[in-house]
Amino acid sequence: MDHLQTSKNKENFATMKILILNGPNLNLLGVREPDIYGRQTFESFFGQLCSEFPEVSLEYFQSNHEGALIDKLHEVGFTYDGIVCNAGAYTHTSIAIADAIAGIQTPVVEVHISNVHKRETFRHHSYLAAVCAGSIVGLGLQGYKLAIAWFLQR
Ligand code: DQA
């Protein structure tokens, strides 16, 4: 099942619209390999993000399905101000997601919770990096926060 959450802040302040897009297995954050990905669920982290960035209209979408991620990129990619994308393992396999990012107008920042360069060699290559504005790797969940801060400051 896909997960969708939106911030409650937007009524009062929102000027900027940012989507956080998480790919496969990231719905298991908090219980999945906690030594690598930590013990916090993304839902609880998303609550923190909404409080920290009241001026941003934040939306969170997670899917385990490549096509659903592509559909979401198409849906928001001509109207939102930024997309923070952790495509999970599709990072290392999906030309289709790379093409979707290349085809939209909204800039995308790639985030990885773990330092993929310290891990298996199949995680070292990202099909998405070349079509993203930049990448934040290995800084845990803080990477999402840094990406939002970058969108706010540009
Ligand atoms: C990940 C790294 C990927 O290699 C892995 O497949 C994930 C999570 C990360 O956030 O560190 O699912 O994107």
Structural domains of the chain in order of their starting residue, each with its CATH number: 3-153 (3.40.50.9100)
Q: Which of 80, 112, 127, 144 is catalytic?
A: 112
| 8 Å CB contact between 90 and 114 | no
- Say what angle helices 95-103 and 66-76 make with each other, to 10 degrees: 10
pLDDT mean over 119-140: 98
User: Mean pLDDT throughout 77-106?
Assistant: 98
What mean pLDDT do residues 69-76 have?
98
Does position 11 have pLDDT exceeding 60, yes or no? no
- Does the annotation count 37 as an active-site position? yes
Buried b (16+ CB within 10 A) or exposed e, 39-71: eeebeebbeebbeebeebbbbbbbbbebeebbe
If one residue of 113, 120, 136, 146 were mutated to test the ligand 1 pocket, choosing by the most ligand atoms within 8 A of its CB, it would be 113
Q: Which two tokens stand for residue 136?
A: 């934040």
For residue 125, indicate whether it is catalytic.
no
The pLDDT confidence band at residue 23, using thresholds 50, 70 and 90, is very high
Q: Give the ligand 1 atom nearest the CA of 112.
A: 10
Share of the chain above pLDDT 70, in %: 95
Mean pLDDT (whole number) for 78-93: 98
> Residue 22 C-alpha to ligand 1 middle, in angstroms?
10
CA distances from 150 to 30, 82, 83 (A): 26, 10, 11
Catalytic residue among 37, 60, 90, 144: 37
Beta strand pairing status for 3-6 and 56-62?
A: antiparallel
